[in-house]
Structure 1
């Protein structure tokens, strides 16, 4: 990570059925609680590289720039 960046670690478990609802519906934001207790919302599309037939499960590091704009997501 470069200077000015920050990150949150979230544990995500979204079933395939829930993902379909996210992608088809007007609410395409995922709401998750980070391990430090902060609540974060982000576009469901950033999880696309991690989608399997069973959905998305795992721990992820979400990296933001100094203006709190999404930079990247990494599976831990």
Structure 2
């Protein structure tokens, strides 16, 4: 089933996007800071969420991993 139609898969993709963008910005900040607006601004917004709300994102990743490993 496609990740768009499965809610749990959609949440997993969003969490992975947030974590990946935050990690890429920690390695090369200029790569994502250039594109703060437009379509590529989505990645910059994900970076901001990952950096500012990192404890909440980490808890969500742990809960999602637990649900994928033990509930599915």
TM over 0.5: no
TM-score with structure 2 length normalisation?
0.25
Higher relative contact order, chain-length normalized (CA < 8 Å, sep 6+)? 1
TM-score with structure 1 length normalisation?
0.24
Give the structure with the higher percent helix. 2
Q: Which has the larger radius of gyration?
A: 2
